[in-house]
A and B are shown apart, each in its own frame.
Chain A
Amino acid sequence: MSGIPIGLGYLSVSFTFGIMAVGTGLYWWQATIISMLTVTSAGQLAGIGTMIHPGLYMEMLISQITINIRYSFMSISIGQKADSKFKGIYRWILGFMMTDEIFGVASSRKSVSRSFFAGLCVFPYLGWALGTLVGALLGEVLPGSLLSALGIALYAMFIAIVVPEMEKSKPVIVVVLIAIIMSCGFKYLPILQGVSTGIAITICGVVAALVGAVLFPIEEAES
């Protein structure tokens, strides 16, 4: 069930990606293939920005690693929650779908099974691929008011994950506040505005969690 709102949210985001990709000169099928093989918003947007220029392969490599390095931390975190059957080939296959949102939902569980994770991935994958296809083919077809309202779906889910944990744990409140203050810094301080969103989120997340781990280490394995 949790996969459905993610899928809906992805529809509108990937729809926008589809429109933008065709706008930069890609064919509709190229935009769709990129989405089907990558499934990441910030990375894909940066990717098509690089693709406009010929021959920047090394730049593509470095920018993709820095923008996406947050997924490594997410994979380690989910790996700790994976149950005993969720290993080997299942990790090779399902790890492909470690997105911010799927991570968010999976991390709200005490234990993550391979069937839960696989089920969680279906609608987001379909939403991401279809949204891109439709966006690239048809441009602006959905009424703007509906797209606008769907835009908040993903963030509402994040709020639904973080807020209950803040109620339970004071250290989480501190960690969240640090992350928010830093994230606003990257958005509003002119000196930091050049940093790409993916990198900024990684820095905010890692620093806030590090501070939390040093100040409030957890004695019992409660996570």
Chain B
Amino acid sequence: MTGASFWIYLAILAGTTYLVRVIPFVAIKNKIENKYVQSFLYYIPYAVLSAMTIPAVFYSTDTRLGAVAGAVVAVIFALKKKSLTVVAVAACVMVYVVEMIL
């Protein structure tokens, strides 16, 4: 793709993405006191992350079995309170090993 069209598309793509992120970040300065809003904001990370993870995690590698094995390892390591990095590496290793065997 050449010409002005690309740059216009790029400006819209990058511009809207940036503003959607930054405007609420900059505009809402005060601590929110309302307990329902507070609770909503407390729950939203876990809700969003869960929705992003399941079922997508089961399709994140070449084989379904590898992905399931990796996810199970991740849950086990997470229950043992391992750090994010350790959980991620353990899951990757598990997927790699399972897919080698298959």
Contact = CB atoms under 8 A, between A and B. Distances in A.
A74 B79 CA distance: 25
A25 B91 contact: no
Interface residues of A, number: 111
A61 B17 CA distance: 9
Contact of B50 (A60, A153, A176): A176
27 contacts: A26-B6, A40-B17, A51-B9, A61-B12, A71-B20, A72-B20, A74-B21, A76-B25, A80-B28, A91-B26, A92-B26, A148-B66, A149-B66, A152-B74, A155-B57, A157-B88, A160-B82, A160-B83, A167-B79, A179-B51, A201-B51, A204-B50, A205-B47, A205-B51, A213-B36, A213-B43, A218-B42
Contacts of B62: 144-145, 148, 151
A162 B39 CA distance: 16
Given A5-B88, A153-B88, A212-B40, 10 more contacts: A27-B1, A30-B10, A51-B9, A78-B25, A145-B100, A149-B66, A156-B73, A158-B57, A179-B51, A208-B50
On chain B, which size bracket covers the interface? 35 or more
Given A156-B91, A163-B79, A212 B25 contact: no
Max chain A CB contacts within 10 Å: which of B6, B50, B88?
B50
A98 interface: yes
B28 A155 contact: no
A183 B55 CA distance: 7
Interface of B: 1, 5-6, 8-10, 12-14, 16-18, 20-26, 28-29, 31-32, 35-57, 60-63, 66-67, 70-71, 73-75, 77-79, 81-85, 87-93, 95-96, 99-100
B12 to A, nearest CB: 5
A25 B47 CA distance: 37
